[in-house]
Amino acid sequence: MINWSRIEAQYVSGEKTLRELAKEKRVSYSTLSKKASEGGWAAKRKKYRAEVESEALARARERGLKRMDELLKASEKLMDAAVEAIQDNKQFKRWVTTGGCGEGASETVEKVFDKRDTRAMKDMVFVLKELTGILRDAYGLQTPAQELGEKLARERISQVKAQTQKLRRENGDGGKESGGALILPVIDEVERDEE
């Protein structure tokens, strides 16, 4: 006796074609094809694959969100540690020194001097810059330069639109927007210098 439900399950959840299953189960292809057609196996397979794909995407999204959350927490901890280090008045005046203590032995100690460790200061600036970038990217925040760039771009687009409408009115089409080419005004070198 042929177990059609088992063959259907193998087809719906598997990768084999109907011909491959017919050969493997020693069933005629036409009979198997007819059963598959009557039972809507192709639609079931498509639905199954869509569900599997959807579940895989949901798991990947969840892992990604979890990973991003871990990254943000780590970045925030590093930022807190960096801020704490900066608030220490002696942070950049500490030096690790090694000195002899007799009989060929040496001792490594930390000492505070008046001279600042500029390399440590540069390293801290680099760390803060990187952490700030990570947090800005994660929270979708823009730098002041990016905000200014967007503002200037919006203003320039408004100027071009106003100039285009003015030219259209002058050309007799009432300043209405229509399909076709956009007429951009020529900007003289003098105008550029003024901006």
CB 72 within 8 A of CB 137: no
Q: Highest mean pLDDT: which of 48-62, 94-108, 125-139? A: 48-62
Q: In sequence order, which residues have a C-beta less than 8 Å from that of residue 194 and are 6 or more positions away?
A: none
The domain spans of the chain are 4-62, 65-139, 142-176
Sequence length of the chain is 195
Per-residue pLDDT at 177: 56
The model carries a pTM of 0.40
Q: What is the DSSP string of 177-189?
A: --SS---PPPPPH
Q: In sequence order, which residues have a C-beta less than 8 Å from that of residue 151 and are 6 or more positions away?
A: none
Residue 195, pLDDT above cutoff 50:
no
SS3 16: coil
Which residue's structure tokens are 């000195």?
99
Residue 151, pLDDT above cutoff 50:
yes
Distance from C-alpha of 195 to C-alpha of 191, rounded to nearest angstrom: 7
Q: What is the DSSP string of 129-181?
A: HHHHHHHHHHHTPPPHHHHHHHHHHHHHHHHHHHHHHHHHHHTTSTT---SS-
Residue 94, pLDDT above cutoff 80:
no
> Residues 13-55: pLDDT tens digits?
999 999 999 999 999 999 999 999 999 999 999 999 999 999 9
Phi and psi of 176, rounded to 5°?
Answer: -75, 145
Distance from C-alpha of 117 to C-alpha of 160, rounded to nearest angstrom: 52
SS3 67: helix
pLDDT band at 73 (very low <50, low <70, confident <90, very high): confident
